[in-house]
Structure 1
Amino acid sequence: MALAIRSLAALGGLALSLTAPGLPALANGGVTITSYGHSALLIQGGGASVLINPFRAVGCAAGLAEPRVNANVILASSRLLDEGAAVAGGTMLSSPGSYRLAGLRIEGIAVAHDRFGGRRFGKATLWRWKQGGLEFAHLGGTAAPLSAEDQVLLGKPDVLIVGVGGGAKVYDGAEAAAVVRQLAPRRVIPVQYVSGPTPKTCDLSSVEPFLKAMAGTPVKRVGRVLSLPAKLGNGLQIDVMR
């Protein structure tokens, strides 16, 4: 088993945590996604691993275990501690631009972090890339409405990762639902919401207002690990991870 893991890691310079789940998806195409809470996800597949929004356990992430995993690429919405904490290993990207790393073409798009043109929290970065045959869009750290230009740049993702908890710098449930309708993905993974006791300094709510705003859409509560094939069926599904 150890030899098999080393062989997979050698393909394309893949950097994986030996404790991270998800190897079957790497062998069969598609991706395996592991949630670490808040908006931190590890996406493995297509010969690469991408870690999204590693956090320090502060603010709304207080009490969570900080991600301690390796990845080829680390995509951060911003350099705020709850969205872009430094981790060992991998190349961290937080600024907009076009990048080619680990065999992936990654596009970062600048937007306001808040609802006031960035006057409170500055800018955030939306991310788009293709991995394991799937088009991803990561909107885990903004409360700003999408412009027509943003929609063109983001395209029509297969998998949309979107913050839903509300507060000063994250979409609330209704805003996130409007973004889902704009981009028309096949799968939605909501992030940045509170699933247990709310920390004292946290202004996020639960995932439930988003699910209510998306009434009629199939919802699957998948736990901490989600495997997706390279070809998704038609229609929309919400995958709630924890």
Structure 2
Amino acid sequence: MSAASAAERLDEVRTAIASAAALAGRAREAVTLIAVSKTHPTEAIRPLLEAGQRVFGENRVQEAQEKWPALKAEYPGVELHLIGSLQSNKAAEAVALFDVIHSVDRASLVEALAVAMAKQDRRPACFLQVNIGDEPQKGGCAVAELPGLIEAARAAELRVAGLMCIPPADVEPAPYFALLAKLARRHGVEGLSMGMSADYPTAVTIGATHVRVGTALFGERR
């Protein structure tokens, strides 16, 4: 991807976010664009960095470890988000590398993160992932288990930034986004990590504070 095409794609996505935010009477600045760079090599990421994007999302700790320390050194101000599922035995590595973790979905992971954060004196913000469509193949806590997970996260002094979801594929996502927003209001959390390349404008109109956009910025994954 050339620097010009990267800048054009970035501008298109930012414009779509701004339009959706305006439609909902929200400020464009209320929405953080996370460029999902998972599976993409550093040479595909660098044009977006050159175009000014500084917030990126990765799915796997190991892949992020291979790419981002050098890129972070080269481009100051990068904020790195873990958006994929996290094993408890990788908690310490995730805390060391990521600024925000979007996939906290069980009490055992809360405990592992709390221990790692205390040891490293580093506290990435955390989103609690909800299995909003009750799909057995997806991560996230059940809706009924969310109150207990929030209580555990707060007791462990995690920085609970909000809730995250991935709606079922190939169905209208708006009801699922609306349910996540309702749950966030009920539990007094502000952040909503929801919306991807196919549906992020819808998510923004319903209150998304963080959208996770990959394909619209990078093209189809290899």
Q: TM-score, normalised by structure 2?
A: 0.41
Higher strand share: 1
Q: TM-score, normalised by structure 1?
A: 0.39
